[in-house]
Structure 1
Amino acid sequence: MTEHPHEIRLRVNGVPHTLRVPARRLLSDCLRHDLGLTGTHVGCEHGVCGACTVLLDGLPVRSCLMLAVGAARHSDITTVEGLAGPDGSLHPVQRAFGECHALQCGFCTPGFLTLVASHLEDNPDPTEAEARDAISGNLCRCTGYQNIVAAVLRAAELRREAPPAGERRAAGGVPGDAGGPA
């Protein structure tokens, strides 16, 4: 039986796309293979690790658990590439992860970056305990989480130092500025 493709419209990092995808195409595969946005990493493929986390209408979701046709009902998808500003300026979370050495192999980093960016929208001044709780659903096998927690707190500081307009949630960021290997 041949699966007929579905035409969908997605707005990813501020850019509209019209695609033809099979009904069972995962959002993570659509982003990576159809749109070439390889910053979204696929780890466990069960929604457990968080490496594939993207923002759907500003909220973190596991893109390996969502079908691309289901994402078409939403107005905005932001991947790690979309966090940076149109001019290439790094989002405060990206800056903080670099400053705090909150990555090692980088595989989990895109999921952490999108998750933390969303968390700081809701809680712009987290305590250390709140930062730990916020990242508790994402897995990292390298860092031991100490520097990731420090980066969450540092990102909150950087946000307070810069005007909110400096943040880009879906402003059409610079592809390839993923914060980790593809």
Structure 2
Amino acid sequence: MDKVNNKMKDINTGRRDVLIAGALSATAAAMPGMAAAQSANAASITGAPSAPPVMAGVRFDINGKAHALELDTRTTLLDALREHLHLTGTKKGCDHGQCGACTVIVDGQRINSCLTLAVMHEGSTITTIEGLGTPEKLHPMQAAFVAHDGYQCGYCTPGQICSAVAALGEIRRGVPSHVSADLNARPQVTPEELRERMSGNICRCGAYSNIVDAITDVAGRPA
């Protein structure tokens, strides 16, 4: 029995030695990376200078006015509108292109402004909610949203309205959607078409049926 116990002790000791050696090796391999991370953290804490951002000039027409900006090339169109031009009607929702609150119309096409860089739109014509209408002279789509109570908290409303205006433009141009019965025929303004085309704009308050009514009203068909 003593021989067996001694043998088991030797086996356990050997296993411990292997584990200890492995841990030491892993620690040694990780040390350079840890040192680099600590140096980076120290630089940020002490305010050591970092590489300056790459800047670029961009010119575009926004709501009928020419604008020229010098921007960090990483600036999104959404941040250029809100932070640099103070057009805060365009909302930052998810900032991942999933909610549609930041929808604007660029060269006649609706886009999520959080997913595109401002410098990509040199020479573009951009319309935000501020460019569609004013409190004194509402755009028909804005007036319809008011008449049909197409909003509650209102946060998504600017994106909803810009998207709705562009969606009707798509239908007029004959652009089909995933629910168009005949891709070769001109699409019609139906609840199914509107729900599909507006599916990228999320309303947390759930005013979807009223939004469809508002768009249908503007399209000139009975809701």
Aligned equivalents of 2:170 and 2:93: distance in 1? 26
Q: Say whether 1:69 aligns with 2:119.
A: yes
Deviations 1:40-79 (A, max 9, x none): 001001000000000010100000001010122x420110
* Partner residue in 1 for 2:7: none
Amino acid corresponding to residue 153 of structure 2 in structure 1: C
Shift of 1:127: 1.0
Aligned equivalents of 1:34 and 1:10: distance in 2? 13
Aligned equivalents of 2:76 and 2:124: distance in 1? 17
* Partner residue in 2 for 1:109: 157
Deviations 1:101-147 (A, max 9, x none): 00000111111100110111222561111111111111111024111
Return 57-66 or 119-128, whichever deviates more.
119-128
Rg larger in structure = 2
Q: Retained in 2: the 8 A contact 1:102–1:143?
A: no
Aligned equivalents of 2:125 and 2:207: distance in 1? 32
Shift of 1:7: 1.2
TM-score (norm 2): 0.66
RMSD, matched Cα: 1.7
Return 20-29 or 124-133, whichever deviates more.
124-133
* Partner residue in 2 for 1:169: none
TM-score (norm 1): 0.81
Match for residue 62 of structure 2 among 2, 9, 12: 12
Within 5 Å, which residues of 2 pair with 1:28-39?
Answer: 28-39=78-89
Deviations 1:74-93 (A, max 9, x none): 420110111117x9421111
Return 49-58 or 76-85, whichever deviates more.
76-85
Match for residue 55 of structure 1 among 84, 90, 105: 105
Q: Retained in 1: the 8 A contact 2:152–2:207?
A: no
Match for residue 133 of structure 2 among 70, 73, 84: 84
Q: Retained in 1: the 8 A contact 2:150–2:207?
A: no
Aligned equivalents of 2:52 and 2:107: distance in 1? 33
Aligned equivalents of 1:136 and 1:120: distance in 2? 14
Q: Retained in 1: the 8 A contact 2:89–2:158?
A: yes
The share of aligned pairs that are identical, in percent, is 44
Q: Secondary structure at the match of 1:2?
A: coil
Structure 1 unaligned spans of 5+: 159-182
Counting matched residue pairs gives: 156
Q: Retained in 2: the 8 A contact 1:46–1:65?
A: yes
Q: Secondary structure at the match of 2:115?
A: coil
Aligned equivalents of 1:8 and 1:144: distance in 2? 37
Aligned equivalents of 2:207 and 2:142: distance in 1? 19
